[in-house]
């Protein structure tokens, strides 16, 4: 084998080795919870930014993950926590009294609030109205620079559902998935 052929074979071997070390698809990294590889079909858990939703393009989120909602030309950040249950809720109850904490902040303009703006859609397809906790009336608006924290309650069937926010009272702009279980 002459020098030229040997150089070509070496170059081909190096190129092949390098091609095997790289891939167009990155390998999934371990999840933040340390429970194995993060599925490649899911968005990165380190993706920056909040979801955005409107009545024409609703956002789906989960408790603790805020959504920036477009409300008639204004924006408002909405976050949901819960559900929580009253002390003494029986194990494996078929109906669960749930309390959701909704935090509204960073309004770019005054945004009207009302109890009809929030409801729960349960896993059976039934809609449940949410009401403020007794003695805690809803503010009429969320003003720019202010934060409104609402405690909303409903009794729902045990299982999955979505707390929905419809800023105009009709079209859902954002929803948060939840599980109501007492096991």
Q: What is the pLDDT of residue 3?
A: 55
What is the Cα–Cα distance from 79 to 82, expressed in whole angstroms?
10
Query: How are strands ordered across the β-sheet holding 74-84?
Result: 51-53, 67-71, 74-84, 95-105, 148-157, 131-132
Name the token pair of 155. 């009794």
For residue 175, which of 157, 166, 162 has the smallest C-alpha distance?
A: 162
pTM above 0.85, yes or no: no
Which residues of the chain form CATH 2.60.40.1240? Answer: 51-180
Q: What is the pLDDT of residue 167?
A: 93
Q: What is the pLDDT of residue 23?
A: 44
CA 52 → CA 31, 60, 70, 155, distances in Å? 24, 9, 8, 28
Q: What is the pLDDT of residue 37?
A: 78
The Cα angle at residue 53 between residues 49 and 55, in degrees rounded to 5: 175
Domain 51-180: assigned CATH number: 2.60.40.1240
Q: What is the pLDDT of residue 24?
A: 45
pLDDT tens digit at each of 183 positions of the chain: 555 555 444 444 544 554 454 444 444 454 455 567 777 776 666 555 789 999 999 999 999 999 999 998 899 999 999 999 988 889 999 999 999 999 999 999 999 998 789 999 999 999 999 999 999 999 999 999 999 999 999 999 999 999 999 998 889 999 999 999 887
The Cα angle at residue 136 between residues 132 and 140, in degrees rounded to 5: 80
């Amino acid at each position: 084998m002459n020098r030229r052929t040997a150089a070509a074979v070496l170059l081909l071997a190096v190129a092949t080795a390098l091609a095997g070390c790289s891939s167009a698809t990155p390998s999934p990294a371990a999840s933040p919870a340390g429970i194995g590889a993060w599925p490649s079909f899911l968005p990165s858990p380190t993706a920056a930014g909040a979801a955005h939703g409107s009545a024409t393009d609703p956002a789906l989120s989960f408790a603790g993950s805020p959504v920036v909602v477009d409300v008639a030309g204004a924006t408002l950040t909405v976050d949901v926590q819960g559900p929580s249950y009253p002390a003494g809720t029986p194990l494996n109850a078929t109906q669960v009294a749930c309390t959701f904490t909704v935090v509204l902040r960073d309004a770019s303009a005054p945004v009207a609030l009302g109890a009809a703006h929030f409801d729960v859609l349960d896993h059976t397809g039934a809609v449940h109205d949410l009401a403020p906790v007794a003695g805690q009336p809803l503010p009429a608006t969320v003003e720019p620079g202010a934060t409104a924290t609402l405690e909303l309650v409903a009794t729902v069937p045990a299982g999955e559902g979505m707390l929905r926010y419809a800023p105009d009272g009709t079209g859902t702009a954002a929803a948060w998935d939840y599980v109501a279980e007492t096991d």
